[in-house]
Amino acid sequence: MKEGERIKFAIAGLGHIGKRHAAMISQNSECAWVAGCDTIAKEQLKVSGNPIPWFQSVDDLLKSDVDFDVLSVATPNGLHEAHALQGLRAGKHVLIEKPMALTKAGCEQIIYEALHQHRQVFCIMQNRYSPTSVWLKEVLMKGILGKVYMVQINCFWNRDERYYTPGNWHGTRELDGGTLFTQFSHFVDIMFWLFGDIKNISGRFANFNHQGLIEFEDSGFVQFDFVNGGMGNLSYSTSCRDKNLESSITVIAENGMVKVGGQYMNEVEYCHIKDYTMPLLPPANPPNDYGPYKGSAANHHFIFENVVDVLKGRSPITTNALEGLKVVEIIERIYSLKANVV
């Protein structure tokens, strides 16, 4: 890709997240949105003001004469694998919303096809770009905290009938996959990015107040050891009343303690480290606002900037396909412990 050329994107799936992709593309002078794809009409999705070609399926899009470089996959979770493979086999780079797929095997298929086609796979894990995440990564990488003893991750959100609406794919095993896939995979990614892989996993799961709305758990306690040393716990729930409570990570280590918290892991709530002065961090971006409920930090613009930089040979991928696979594989191992919870 030459300097001066705009990277052309086609978006598959124009729900809340797909519209976020469209906004990021439109705001980047090195990007162009050239086609949309959804089973729902443009007018119903309220994107009819954009004169781009519109297609009812990825098949129809790829059979058309629309020229584009990157297929942005923002369809339901259970379709990510199939749509990414279609794009790659058509010679397109793919940008995949979390999760990369719903199985490790699916992720492996995507990586194999990308290697075969000599194309790039970008995975969206935007929480890594938050100032608090960047700071904590630096503190750990430089050994400032010393040996890690314990890590506690809390993800307590609200997802009620305003989110799990009748006839929606949210809440189904086939297309949603589970609470860790749809709501909290960003935090599994942060855990893996900061501390590495896990082992000796145990867990408890329950559906407290989503009977009839979802086909899996709404809450869980997961305990484990880190391969690199130390032990951890992930506690999560979507049973909070009316609004999100917190997303936080607490680290107890050899040289001190830190807690990154707030509703979206967006602020340093506590920092006490031997011979260390906490720096002033840039302000975090607000969460993605979907009306009655909120999502993770609005950092998607960093992802699209990285896509441009990679395709123009300026920098490496910040969230590559192997990391996307690892997040799915960790969730898959956690869910292998779970009996049917409905």
Nearest to 318 by CA among 133, 132, 129, 176: 129
- The pTM of this model reads 0.94
pLDDT for 281: 95
d(CA 112, CA 123) in angstroms, rounded, equals 15
pLDDT for 84: 98
pLDDT for 292: 65
What is the full per-residue pLDDT of the chain (342 aa) written as tens digits? 677 899 999 999 999 999 999 999 999 999 999 999 999 998 898 886 778 999 999 999 999 999 999 999 999 999 999 999 999 999 999 999 999 999 999 999 999 999 999 999 999 999 999 999 999 999 999 999 999 999 999 999 999 999 999 989 999 999 999 999 999 999 999 999 999 999 999 999 999 999 999 999 999 999 999 999 999 999 999 999 999 999 999 999 999 999 999 988 999 999 999 999 999 999 887 765 666 656 666 789 999 999 999 999 999 999 899 999 999 999 999 999 986 565
d(CA 249, CA 184) in angstroms, rounded, equals 13
pLDDT for 299: 87
- Give 297's strand partners: 287
Query: Where do the domains of the chain lie, and which CATH numbers do they carry?
Result: 7-123 (3.40.50.720), 128-293 (3.30.360.10)
Strands (E), the chain: 7-12, 31-37, 54-55, 70-73, 93-96, 121-123, 148-156, 198-206, 219-226, 231-237, 246-253, 256-261, 267-273, 287-289, 294-297
